[in-house]
Structure 1
Amino acid sequence: MITLDLIGFQELQDELSKELAALRSDKVVTVGIHEEAGNVESGELTMASLGATHEFGADIKHPGGTSYGYASKAAADRDEVRFLKKGAGYMELGVTQPHDIKIPARPWLEPGVASATPEVLNTIQDGMEAGQSMDQILEAVGVVAAAKVKVYMTELKTPPNAASTIRKKGSSNPLIADGHLRQSVTHKVSVGPVTEGLE
């Protein structure tokens, strides 16, 4: 037979209620690419939009007009056709017509944050035991989660880049070219509700 000692139970419950009330906050921590990250260096696309494109995938209607041909005499001898920068290359063979480009989804944010769950729970517990404020705990959680997302992005391998993309950027990692996207991942503690993000 199981018995419960109820002596002091009400006091314990009251103390727990006080602890939970002290932790209640109208603040939230968001992790990802915030609007402060600005635009991609090469154009008007924002870093946040680029991140969303990788997270969810995209269908892009390309207007065409991209030059292609042989980058050098050696490439011509090998019959190796590549896209050419305007005015560059050994021999232009033509320009592309309007076409659709499908960018596959490479989820990095949601699974990246999920991978931080054990560390986040430990961070919350450690903060509570140390008597930290909710702001301090949220800051610590944000640091941990953003770091785990960056690790996840670095290790992501699938779906792989197209061979032409690997040649162009010199890397098979689909999310890492110059590192700017990964560097744009930050955390922010703010008063809720969250007004940024994609629904």
Structure 2
Amino acid sequence: MRITDRNNIPKLITTLRDLKKYSVEVGVFGDDDSFYAMIASVHEFGVTIQKESGSIVIPERSFMRTTFDEKEVEWIQFAEKQLKNVIDFKIAPRTLYERLGALMVGDIQEKITDLDAPPNATSTIQKKGSSNPLIDSGGLRKRITFRVVEK
């Protein structure tokens, strides 16, 4: 008769420590595409551009902060469910963060698609051919991404 040691406590301790090694960042990263990082910042916070003939106001159209506010509880619940898979050794700790990052990106992209206020100026709608305030070519939406960072 052969007895196998199934003590997973050391493995569990290592796995739990590994969970603390990572974090997830979501957004448009300037090192990847500084133009769209600037566009994201302008829309997220708004800006007033002073010109000799007056000013141009681009109103705040928060798509990052508002998504975080609206989805935070759902994201926590998702992470808690994924944590069970980590503790059961079905997925690696890093995988939890990758899955969470992908979910967050999808939710933010959906917000960009659905956001309709404040509306574009009539002249902007005519120029773009669309009334969606955050989508012109789709470049901003496509550049929302995530990265898992090791601390």
User: Is 1:123–1:137's contact at 8 Å kept on the other side of the alignment?
Assistant: no
Of 49, 61, 65 in structure 2, the residue corresponding to residue 60 of structure 1 is: 49
What does 1:6-155 correspond to in 2, within 5 Å? 18=13, 21-22=16-17, 24-39=19-34, 46-62=35-51, 98-131=53-86, 132-155=91-114
Cα offset, 1:191, TM superposition: 2.7
Q: Which has the higher contact order (CA 8 A, sep 6+)?
A: 2
Evaluate the alpha carbon distance shift between residue 117 and residue 142 of structure 1 in structure 2; reply closer, same or farther with a 3 A threshold: same
Number of aligned residue pairs: give it: 137
Gapped regions of structure 2 (runs ≥ 5): 1-8
Equivalent position SS for 2:117: coil
CA distance in 2: counterparts of 1:37 and 1:140, whole angstroms: 21
Structure 1 or 2: more helix by fraction: 2
Equivalent position SS for 1:35: coil
Task: Indicate the residue corresponding to 1:174 in structure 2.
Answer: 133
Cα offset, 1:19, TM superposition: 8.9
Cα offset, 1:22, TM superposition: 3.5
CA distance in 2: counterparts of 1:141 and 1:34, whole angstroms: 18
User: Is 2:19–2:94's contact at 8 Å kept on the other side of the alignment?
Assistant: no
Task: Indicate the residue corresponding to 1:183 in structure 2.
Answer: 142
Provide the TM-score with structure 2 as the length reference: 0.79
The percent identity for this pair of structures is 28
Gapped regions of structure 1 (runs ≥ 5): 1-13, 40-45, 63-96, 193-199
Provide the TM-score with structure 1 as the length reference: 0.62
One-letter amino acid of the counterpart of residue 63, structure 2: W
Cα offset, 1:115, TM superposition: 3.0
Question: Structure 1 stretch 101-110 or stretch 114-123: which is displaced more?
Answer: 114-123
User: Is 2:15–2:93's contact at 8 Å kept on the other side of the alignment?
Assistant: no
Give the number of the structure whose alpha-carbon radius of gyration is greater. Answer: 1
Task: Indicate the residue corresponding to 1:84 in structure 2.
Answer: none
